[in-house]
Chains A and B, each alone.
Chain A
C-alpha cells in the first residue's frame, strides 16, 4: 500500500519539474512567437518595442562565445592533461583538486567582480567584449577541466601501455593516442560549458556590459551587449510590448541552449558506444 503510494508520489515528482518546464515554454511561445520574424533578428535596438531587434545582442553573444572558447579551451584542456596524466599524487596535486572543485562552486557574480577589477580596471580593457570573454572563460574553466579529465579517465589504460611499449614519449602518447581517443568526451564537456556561458547574465552586467549598444561589435575592444542582458533589460521595462520582446528573445536563447545541449548529448552517446 505505502509502497504503491510512494511509487505514484515518485512519478508525480519526476514529472512535476518537466511539466512546469513545459507550461513555461508553452506560455513563452504563446507570448513571443508572433514577434519572431527576420526583422526581429536583424533590427538594431530601439526605444519603440515593435521596432526593436536583437541583432546587436545576438552578435555580442557570438563574439563572446568565440573569444571565450579561444581563451578557455587551451588552458582548460592543458590543465586537465596535466592533472590526469602528469601530476604525481602529492600534496600539491590535492590542493589543485580541492581548488578546482571550489572554483566550480563560486557564484558566477563573484567572477564578475573579479573581472571588473582585473580585466576592466587593472588591465584597462574597459567594458569590452574581450573583458567579458576573459571573465566567462575563467567561469567555465573548472567545467572544461573536470569534463576533460573525465574523458581522459575513460580511455583504457591498455592504450597508454601499448603506446609506451612502442617507445612513444609521454607527450606523443597524450597527443597522438589519448586526445584523439577522448575527443568525443572532451567535445561534449566543452559544448556544455559554452551553453552555460551563453546564458550567463550576472557576471557580464557586473563588468559593465551595456543593455543598449547601437551597433554590433566589430573588434574585441568594442562595447557589447549579449542576448540574456537584452532580455533582462526588456523584462525590467513596464510597457507590455517589451515583455513580448523578452519572450521572443527568450525563445531564441532557449533554442540556442537546447541545440547546444542536444549536440552535446549526441556526441556523448556516440562516444560512449566507442568504448563498449
Chain B
C-alpha cells in the first residue's frame, strides 16, 4: 500500500515537471501554426526583405525589417548605457566596497528590477523625454533614445547582480596572488578578476540583451507606433513587441491576416531570445565546471 502511494506521488510530481515541457511545446506549436498560416499568404522573401510594415493600412506591406530595426535600436541604446554602468557597479561592489555595503546595496539595486515596466514607460514619456528635449531640440515626443535609456536603467540590476556573482565566485587565491605581486585594486580588478569571471559577465550581458529585446511596455509607451527603418534615435519607431500590443488593443478578427501578423512577429522575437538564452545557458554550464 505504502509502495503504491509513494509511486502515485512520484508520478504526480513528475507530471507537474512535465508541464514545463508542455509550455515550451505549446509556445512553439502556437507560434508555428499561426506563422505558417501567415506565410501561406505572404511570401517569406518579402517578410525579410520588404522595407515597409503596413499590415493595418489599405496598401499592405509585410516587411519585418522596420520592426526589427526598432527593436534592435532601442535594445542597443539600452545595452550601451547599462553595460558600462552595470559592470562598474559589479566591480565596485565586489572589489572595492566594504562587505556590509554589499549587503545593503544589492537588495536596493534589485528594487530597480522590481518596478513594473509600465511604470518605467510613464517615466520615459513624462520625465526623460521632456528633459532630453532641452538638449536635443529636434527630439520627437516618442523616440527610441529615451525608451532605450530607461530600459537601460531597468536592466542595470541584471548585469550588476549576475556579474557580481561571477566576480564573487572567482577563487580568492587569484585575488591574493595579484595583491601579493603588488598590483593595485584597479589592476587586480581589470587584469585578473574581470578576465577570470569573463564567462559569467558575458552571460549577464547576453541575458540583458534578451531581456531588452523582449521588453514591451516601455517601448510601447515611449518609443511610438510608427514602424520605420532607421538608425535615428530621435524619431518615433515601433518594436516587434509594441506592434503586438498595438494590434491587441485594436479590434482584429481571429483568423484574419492581421491577426496572424502578431504571431509572425512573435515567432521572430521568440527565435531571437531563444538563441540568446540557449547560448547563455551553454556558457553558464561550462563556467560552472571551471571552478567546481
Interface residues in chain A, defined as those with a beta carbon under 8 Å from any beta carbon in chain B: 2-3, 6-7, 9-11, 13-14, 16-18, 20-21, 23-24, 27-28, 31, 74-76, 78-79, 81-83, 86-87, 95-96, 98-103, 105-114, 116-118, 121, 138, 141-142, 145, 169-171, 195-196, 198-202, 205-206, 208, 211, 228, 231-232, 235-236, 243, 246-247, 250, 253-254, 257-258, 261, 265
Question: How far, in whole Å, are A201 and B221 apart by their CA atoms in the complex?
Answer: 12
23 of the cross-chain contacts (CB-CB < 8 Å) are A6-B88, A7-B185, A14-B93, A17-B157, A18-B108, A21-B111, A24-B123, A82-B14, A82-B17, A87-B14, A105-B207, A106-B277, A109-B216, A113-B30, A114-B26, A142-B20, A201-B117, A205-B249, A206-B262, A211-B249, A231-B119, A235-B221, A246-B122
Q: Give the shortest distance, in Å, between A101 (CB) and chain B (any CB).
A: 5
Interface residues in chain B, defined as those with a beta carbon under 8 Å from any beta carbon in chain A: 2, 5-6, 9-10, 12-14, 16-17, 19-21, 23-24, 26-27, 30-31, 34, 84-85, 88-89, 91-93, 96-97, 105, 107-112, 114-119, 121-123, 125-127, 153, 156-157, 184-186, 189, 207, 210-211, 213-217, 220-221, 241, 244-245, 248-249, 254, 262-263, 266, 269-270, 273-274, 276-278, 280-281
Q: Give the shortest distance, in Å, between A189 (CB) and chain B (any CB).
A: 14
Closest 6 A/B residue pairs (Cβ):
A107-B214, A10-B92, A199-B116, A78-B16, A82-B13, A105-B277
* A residues near B263, Cβ cutoff 8 Å: 113
* A residues near B213, Cβ cutoff 8 Å: 107
* B residues near A232, Cβ cutoff 8 Å: 118, 121, 217, 220-221
Interface pair B19/A75, CB less than 8 Å apart: yes
Question: How far, in whole Å, are A126 and B249 apart by their CA atoms in the complex?
Answer: 15
* A residues near B126, Cβ cutoff 8 Å: 27, 31, 243
Interface pair B122/A171, CB less than 8 Å apart: no
* B residues near A118, Cβ cutoff 8 Å: 26, 30
Closest to B222 in A: A235
* B residues near A86, Cβ cutoff 8 Å: 10, 13-14
* B residues near A141, Cβ cutoff 8 Å: 19-20, 23
Interface pair A117/B14, CB less than 8 Å apart: no
B17, B21, B109, B118: which contacts A228 (Cβ < 8 A)?
A: B118
Interface pair B122/A235, CB less than 8 Å apart: yes
Known: A107-B273, A110-B214. A10 touches B109 (CB 8 A): no
Q: Give the shortest distance, in Å, between A83 (CB) and chain B (any CB).
A: 6
A20, A145, A257: which contacts B114 (Cβ < 8 A)?
A: A257
A2, A28, A138, A250: which contacts B186 (Cβ < 8 A)?
A: A2
* A residues near B278, Cβ cutoff 8 Å: 98, 102
Q: Give the shortest distance, in Å, between B186 (CB) and chain A (any CB).
A: 4
Interface pair A109/B214, CB less than 8 Å apart: yes
Interface pair B24/A107, CB less than 8 Å apart: no
Interface majority SS (helix, strand, loop, mixed), chain A: helix
* A residues near B241, Cβ cutoff 8 Å: 107, 109, 202
Known: A18-B108, A99-B21, A107-B216. A10 touches B89 (CB 8 A): yes
Q: Give the shortest distance, in Å, between A276 (CB) and chain B (any CB).
A: 14
Q: Give the shortest distance, in Å, between A138 (CB) and chain B (any CB).
A: 5
Question: How far, in whole Å, are A170 and B161 apart by their CA atoms in the complex?
Answer: 36
Question: How far, in whole Å, are A2 and B10 apart by their CA atoms in the complex?
Answer: 59
* B residues near A10, Cβ cutoff 8 Å: 88-89, 91-93, 96-97
Question: How far, in whole Å, are A213 and B274 apart by their CA atoms in the complex?
Answer: 36
- With A21-B111, A31-B126, A78-B13 already in contact, 4 other A-B pairs whose C-beta atoms are closer than 8 Å: A118-B26, A141-B19, A145-B20, A200-B116
Interface pair A13/B30, CB less than 8 Å apart: no
Question: How far, in whole Å, are A101 and B210 apart by their CA atoms in the complex?
Answer: 13
Interface pair B31/A235, CB less than 8 Å apart: no
B16, B27, B211: which contacts A110 (Cβ < 8 A)?
A: B27
Q: Give the shortest distance, in Å, between A225 (CB) and chain B (any CB).
A: 13
Question: How far, in whole Å, are A258 and B112 apart by their CA atoms in the complex?
Answer: 11
Q: Give the shortest distance, in Å, between A259 (CB) and chain B (any CB).
A: 11
Interface pair B245/A109, CB less than 8 Å apart: yes
Known: A3-B186, A141-B23, A171-B6. A235 touches B125 (CB 8 A): yes
Question: How far, in whole Å, are A21 and B211 apart by their CA atoms in the complex?
Answer: 20
Closest to B244 in A: A109
Question: How far, in whole Å, are A31 and B119 apart by their CA atoms in the complex?
Answer: 14
Interface pair A7/B9, CB less than 8 Å apart: no
* B residues near A11, Cβ cutoff 8 Å: 92
Interface pair A20/B153, CB less than 8 Å apart: yes
Interface pair B210/A7, CB less than 8 Å apart: no
Question: How far, in whole Å, are A223 and B183 apart by their CA atoms in the complex?
Answer: 64
Interface pair B30/A17, CB less than 8 Å apart: no
Question: How far, in whole Å, are A14 and B26 apart by their CA atoms in the complex?
Answer: 41
Interface pair B269/A79, CB less than 8 Å apart: no
B23, B105, B111, B215: which contacts A258 (Cβ < 8 A)?
A: B111
Interface pair B30/A79, CB less than 8 Å apart: no
Interface pair A96/B116, CB less than 8 Å apart: no
Q: Give the shortest distance, in Å, between B95 (CB) and chain A (any CB).
A: 9
Interface pair B248/A208, CB less than 8 Å apart: yes
Interface pair A110/B266, CB less than 8 Å apart: yes
